Structure 1
Amino acid sequence: MAKFMMNSKEDLVADALDGIIYANPWRNLVRLDVDPWIRIVMRNDWHKQQVALISGGGSGHEPAHVGFIGKGMLTAAVCGELFASPSVEAVYNAIVNVTGDAGCLLIVKNYTGDRLNFGLAAEKARKAGFNVNMVIVGDDVALPENPQPRGVAGTLLVHKIAGYVAERGDDLAAVTEAAEAANRALSTMGVAMSGCHMPGEEAKERVPEGSVEMGLGIHGEPGVEVIKMQSSQQIAQQLLESVLDSRNSQQPYALLINNLGGMSALEMNLITRDVVASPLSQHVQYVIGPAAMMTALDMKGYSVTALALTPLFEEAICAPVEVTGWSRAVKPEALKPQKAEKQASDITTTPSDNPAVARIVKAICETLIANENDLNKLDAQVGDGDTGSTFASGARQILKECQEKSLPFNSLPDLFAVTGERLANVMGGSSGVLMAIFFTAAGQKLTEKAPLAAALQQGLEKMMQYGGAQPGDRTLIDALQPAIETLLNGGDLAAAAEAARKGSEATATMSKAKAGRSSYLNSDNLKGIEDPGSVAIARVFAALKDLG
């Protein structure tokens, strides 16, 4: 079954319409209470003083069509079941309830069910004395030989242009003419990596893995071809070639970039960049989107609609509206990054020699490198298996500089500062940043002439402040804190090593980790296993104890 959030399939559309009305910031929508199975949403500020615009069709394309009801666009929308045209009776009731002396224009996507049901409703309304016209939108260019091109996202631009003309008070003939002209000026092409999935039905995938389908319909109808996955730029280029008229290179355009429902915001922003930056877009005057405007449930794909601009169309797409689904038309401009001089954070120090300090640094590094595999194996049981490699990568860098005699061994404040910077650059992940904070803060304390133990305590406090972990949270702090506390109280390295060992062993009895990857595991997974970070600290102190 396709994954879908709902109460019941029967109530899905009605419940969703209520949600749209609840969240509408304009507070200008209302449902017509005609019959439970007739779903009509209309403007609540409508007084029949202008030409009424009615659209609609099957649901599942949200925010179309209800999201485009409001001042400057639609007067009402008639909503069918998922991907199913509303009934003749539903459309007829919409016409009767919103149409005044100025008449009504039905804007219909070119699908058989919509044409028939809206068409028959129009005939019934005319017979009842209403002045009704109908425009059938067919903007899809995926199948150029098809005598009945599908109506897809370009329908929204017909809504916008007709709505603008109606809002300024033009008569039904002028509104109809503007809608028909817009329809002739539209071209839409879509692409998808997967089809759409109907709620309550078995999920079937038609697009093969590693492929995309060009020209899918907004109900999941087959496209024109399935091709191997290409770069986003290449796909955008193909869509633009389909919708832009290469024979008239001076024609200005507006482009509507439409999310078909399943694309992430990150992907849609990338696509917008690729579309706008394409050489084919040099005469694009406006971009509308990227936004989910005419969707196909959860289809992972997008469409591009080109509107050949005229002065009227330009005025219309830029006019303000009071609807939730419309995305403001924007003039794209060349990117102009602001120049700034890179601020180097590298610390400049002078190498100096101190054999005793160098011996300690070398012992720490060699210990971490030698324990890489053990720590990785331990971490694989409670984390992502890279603690040993993370510590070893930092240790190798410091050991390399130690062997090259490029470190300031005779100045502990400088040595700690350099170490902090190196670890931030080479260790990666949160461990690298935490150790960098520890050494940087400790080095800063040493510049204040503080004793080494006090400096280490300062580093620990800053690590806990920024990292969020405390003693007992099953992290390396459980070994580091008692070791530093022992040194602060006058203990020697042997006593500190013993405190670190006990602290590390205690983590095996802690039933819940409160930081790091282990925090996602339950107590059964952690039972009897020492935290790998605390083990690393304990082994470092053990190595320092052995130096004598």
Structure 2
Amino acid sequence: MKRFYNHRNTIVKESVEGLLCSSHGTELAMLENKGGSCVVLRKNLDKKKVALLSGGGSGHEPMHAGFVGEGMLTGAICGALFASPGSQDILAGILAVTGDAGCLVIVKNYMGDRLNFGSAVSEARALGLKVEMVLVGDDIALGGGTKARGLAGVVLIHKIAGAAAQAGKSLEEVAEIARNAAANLHTLGLGLTSCTPYDAKPSTRIAENQVEVGIGIHGEAGAAIIPYEPLTSLMETLVKRLLSNAPEGDFFLLVNILGITPIIEAQAIISSLALTPLSKRVKMLIGPAAFCTSLDMSGVSLTIMPAQAQFLELLSAPTKAPYWVSPVPYTTSPVTLPVPILPTNARATASANPRIEKLMQVITTTLENNEAFLNSLDAKAGDGDCGSTYADAARRIATCHKDLPFADISALFGAVGRLLSRYSGGSSGALFSILFANAAENKDWRQGLLRGVEKMEEYGGAQPGDRTVLDVLRPAVECLAKGGTIEETAKLARAGAEATKTMKAQIGRASYVPPEQILGVPDAGAEGVARVFEALAHENGTHTSNA
């Protein structure tokens, strides 16, 4: 599978160096790398206060290095991909950050991390340093105790302990606060997919029609693989399991993006959570954001902790850590503002002009009658909806017939432009709205139409020769502006539509279609407008002969 990397063995170092050179890394530095783990530190260390160190295997960014900053971590040890850093690299980090106030080491509950961080802490203590270690196992998927893996909840411990240290509390006090917070964390994840380490084959454990509740951040098995369902149902299932062993009372909620979950879906998750029982118990929300990810996993995790005043104060304290997201009061009701009063479809007073009304009827009927044909043309070069877009606009105009100012052509153009702006979809609706809105500004309707076409070109970016409706409109409207008859105009419109059969599309969806696929096929929009001009010419001839 395609990934942005050079080699599995270099991706961590390149990532850390990129962080330090990015907008997020202006306050960060790293120990010289001798080929081991990357040790990220604050540039300006204050050893008069308790230092906070954390870390683990990489592949979960921004955790942990993204949370190094005043008010959170003092340093982070970034091991190889999904592998604990070595004890000597951890010890180097401890030595780099620890002063007389001591150092708290925050460790996720995995065997490798416990052993390597524990070894480094023991060695640091033997050297006479004041060091404490806190284990975080917030995963509830497989039960408590040694099975409770460290997940996104560890970031809350980074923040809570970091704020306590920044406030000047002693090592013993910071450690006690961190342990108390860690003991009150509950996290549960849900994966639509597993993750794929570099140079590995994608996992097939989770089928296309399945999801996994409680999936681990390394792709480990969770509590259950269940059928895939719509978002609301998935959140109901996740919340039910999360709350099954949770304490009574209210919570703070952290919503974590596990990997490649798009922002649009992460935000929809927040809306769906509002429909679950959890929503009635959440006081503050943190996220959604990427705190603890898992490479290319598509998933989300929820972390809850008791809504205690002490925790809120520490979570809300300022920090310079680049990837922290501050808590906000939880709400299930988005703020809405009143919609401005839009102009009516026809600002001018409705008026009659039988001749113009007849011509309008010819236009709308022609577009409605050619809906299927134009759709069939458009299907060969686009998404097959040109005829429907034209016909829908025609039906809307016909519906508003009695409200239109037919006795004033400029006012009529303005009214049609507003109707198209409000009710007609797609690019063509917007383009014709621009045409008629600008045409309305000129009392000479012929010159007004020419101005409208010029604005279509300006805003739309197309020119005659690009295989668009302008290949019909530009010559036809120029003819009208010079005093040409509707019959002359219709002939030019037909010639323009025919010319599009051999043109290479330069703009719009048709520009992505192989030219040979649409050779000999007229542009649907151009064909539709040409047929309107021909229908008007036919009506004019009939009217003249009957006069």
Query: What is the TM-score of this pair, normalised by structure 2?
Result: 0.90
Aligned-pair distance for 1:318? Answer: 1.2
Aligned-pair distance for 1:20? Answer: 0.7
Matching of residues 177-326 of structure 1 within 5 Å: 177-244=176-243, 249=248, 251-275=249-273, 278-326=276-324
Q: For residues 192 and 163 of structure 1, what CA distance do their matches in structure 2 show?
A: 30
RMSD, aligned α-carbons = 2.7
- Hey, what does 1:114 align to over in structure 2? 113
Q: For residues 400 and 167 of structure 1, what CA distance do their matches in structure 2 show?
A: 68
- Hey, what does 2:10 align to over in structure 1? 11
Aligned-pair distance for 1:110? Answer: 0.7
Q: For residues 225 and 246 of structure 2, what CA distance do their matches in structure 1 show?
A: 27
Q: For residues 453 and 185 of structure 1, what CA distance do their matches in structure 2 show?
A: 75
- Hey, what does 2:532 align to over in structure 1? 540
Deviations 1:73-119 (A, max 9, x none): 21211111111111222222222332233332221111111111112
Q: For residues 476 and 70 of structure 1, what CA distance do their matches in structure 2 show?
A: 57
Q: Would the alpha carbon gap of residues 386 and 311 (structure 1) be closer, same or farther in structure 2, given more than 3 Å must change? A: closer
Q: Would the alpha carbon gap of residues 286 and 407 (structure 1) be closer, same or farther in structure 2, given more than 3 Å must change? A: closer
Aligned-pair distance for 1:359? Answer: 3.5
Paired amino acid for 2:304: A
Contact map agreement 1:420 1:435 (CA 8 A) in 2? yes
- Does 2:483 match 1:490? yes
Q: For residues 166 and 398 of structure 2, what CA distance do their matches in structure 1 show?
A: 75
Identity of aligned residues (%): 42
Q: For residues 423 and 71 of structure 1, what CA distance do their matches in structure 2 show?
A: 55
Q: For residues 294 and 273 of structure 1, what CA distance do their matches in structure 2 show?
A: 21
Contact map agreement 1:92 1:121 (CA 8 A) in 2? yes
Q: For residues 386 and 486 of structure 1, what CA distance do their matches in structure 2 show?
A: 29
Q: For residues 191 and 510 of structure 1, what CA distance do their matches in structure 2 show?
A: 51
Q: Would the alpha carbon gap of residues 77 and 348 (structure 1) be closer, same or farther in structure 2, given more than 3 Å must change? A: closer
Q: For residues 244 and 183 of structure 2, what CA distance do their matches in structure 1 show?
A: 13
Q: Would the alpha carbon gap of residues 167 and 412 (structure 1) be closer, same or farther in structure 2, given more than 3 Å must change? A: closer
- Hey, what does 1:138 align to over in structure 2? 137
Contact map agreement 2:19 2:25 (CA 8 A) in 1? no
Q: For residues 397 and 168 of structure 1, what CA distance do their matches in structure 2 show?
A: 65
Q: For residues 26 and 405 of structure 2, what CA distance do their matches in structure 1 show?
A: 68
- Hey, what does 2:157 align to over in structure 1? 158
Matching of residues 385-400 of structure 1 within 5 Å: 385-399=384-398
- Hey, what does 1:478 align to over in structure 2? 471
Contact map agreement 2:255 2:302 (CA 8 A) in 1? yes
Q: For residues 335 and 381 of structure 1, what CA distance do their matches in structure 2 show?
A: 43
Contact map agreement 1:4 1:200 (CA 8 A) in 2? no
Q: For residues 12 and 371 of structure 1, what CA distance do their matches in structure 2 show?
A: 58
Q: Would the alpha carbon gap of residues 311 and 356 (structure 1) be closer, same or farther in structure 2, given more than 3 Å must change? A: closer
Aligned-pair distance for 1:527? Answer: 4.2
Aligned-pair distance for 1:375? Answer: 2.3
Aligned-pair distance for 1:225? Answer: 1.6
- SS of the equivalent of 2:377 reads helix
Contact map agreement 1:349 1:408 (CA 8 A) in 2? yes
- Hey, what does 1:30 align to over in structure 2? 29
- Does 2:125 match 1:126? yes
Provide structure 2 residue ranges, at least 5 long, that are not aligned to the other structure.
542-547
Contact map agreement 2:29 2:40 (CA 8 A) in 1? yes
- Hey, what does 2:511 align to over in structure 1? 519
Matching of residues 402-481 of structure 1 within 5 Å: 408-445=405-442, 448=443, 450=444, 452-481=445-474
Paired amino acid for 2:433: A
Aligned-pair distance for 1:153? Answer: 0.7
Paired amino acid for 1:51: V
Q: For residues 232 and 525 of structure 1, what CA distance do their matches in structure 2 show?
A: 40
- Hey, what does 2:42 align to over in structure 1? 43
- Hey, what does 1:102 align to over in structure 2? 101
Q: For residues 12 and 126 of structure 1, what CA distance do their matches in structure 2 show?
A: 33
Paired amino acid for 2:63: A
- SS of the equivalent of 1:282 reads helix
Aligned-pair distance for 1:473? Answer: 2.5
Contact map agreement 2:193 2:297 (CA 8 A) in 1? yes
Contact map agreement 1:366 1:395 (CA 8 A) in 2? yes
Paired amino acid for 1:8: H
Deviations 1:359-389 (A, max 9, x none): 4333333333333333223222222222222
Aligned-pair distance for 1:145? Answer: 5.8
- Hey, what does 2:73 align to over in structure 1? 74
Contact map agreement 1:42 1:76 (CA 8 A) in 2? yes
Contact map agreement 1:476 1:531 (CA 8 A) in 2? yes
Contact map agreement 1:197 1:299 (CA 8 A) in 2? yes
Aligned-pair distance for 1:295? Answer: 0.8
Alignment length (residue pairs): 539
Aligned-pair distance for 1:526? Answer: 4.9
Q: For residues 414 and 168 of structure 1, what CA distance do their matches in structure 2 show?
A: 68
Q: Would the alpha carbon gap of residues 414 and 337 (structure 1) be closer, same or farther in structure 2, given more than 3 Å must change? A: same
Contact map agreement 2:50 2:98 (CA 8 A) in 1? yes
Q: For residues 94 and 56 of structure 1, what CA distance do their matches in structure 2 show?
A: 10
Aligned-pair distance for 1:304? Answer: 1.2
Paired amino acid for 2:527: V
Aligned-pair distance for 1:354? Answer: 4.3
- SS of the equivalent of 1:203 reads coil
